Amino acid sequence: MKKIIPWIIGLVIIGGLIALLVAEAKKPGKYDDLAQCISDSGAKFYGAFWCPHCQATKAMFGKSAKLLPYVECSTADGKGQLEICKEKEIPGYPTWIFADESRLSGEQTLEALAEKTSCPLN
């Protein structure tokens, strides 16, 4: 019996940690409303998986990044550009194209993206 008690305590602790992780994953991201509004505005975020500025942009949105209107431009080997981005004449990453066809290139602030899309920054 004395050997079982530490195992039971360990399982309870592990179960509790798993429950906390699941609960945290289900919480909305801080910028969900902003990211969804940007997406709904018709803006597109063109980037590449290997681009550090694109990764920084996604990191700025945190878990809300999944709601961004992201378009991957890089081929899987990282050496070419996909046709959709060639058609849009995307010169570098990140490039944002807005509903009015205006563009912003490079890392942008939340404020700049909110202003450009008329989305509230909460």
Q: Is residue 40 part of a domain?
A: yes
Which of 75, 72, 45, 74 has its CA nearest to residue 60?
45
Instruction: Tell me, yes or no, whether 10 lies in a domain.
Output: no
Q: What is the number of domains present in the chain?
A: 1
Calculated CA dihedral for residues 52, 61, 82, 102, nearest 10 degrees: -110
Residue 70 belongs to some domain of the structure = yes
DSSP letters for 16-75: HHHHHHHHHHHSPPTTHHHHHHHHHTT-EEEE-TT-HHHHHHHHHHGGGGGGS-EEE-B-
User: Per-residue pLDDT averaged across 115-120, rounded?
Assistant: 96
Q: How far apart are CA 49 and CA 118, in angstroms?
A: 27
Average pLDDT in the 90-105 region? Answer: 97
| Model pLDDT, residue 11 | 74
Q: Which domain holds residue 59?
A: 32-117
Place 87 in a pLDDT band, splitting at 50, 70 and 90: very high
Instruction: Please give the residue that has the higher pLDDT: either 97 or 6.
Output: 97
Please provide the average confidence, as pLDDT, over all residues in the chain: 91
- Whether residue 60 lies inside any domain: the answer is yes
pLDDT (tens digit, 9 = 90+) per residue, 11-45? 777 767 776 666 666 677 899 999 999 999 999 99
Question: Is residue 8 within a helix (H) or strand (E), and if so which, with residue range?
Answer: helix 4-26
Q: How many residues does the chain have?
A: 122
Q: Is 7 helix (H, G, I), strand (E, B) or coil?
A: helix
Structure tokens at 80: 């070419």
pLDDT at 51 over 80: yes
Domain harbouring 50, CATH code: 3.40.30.10
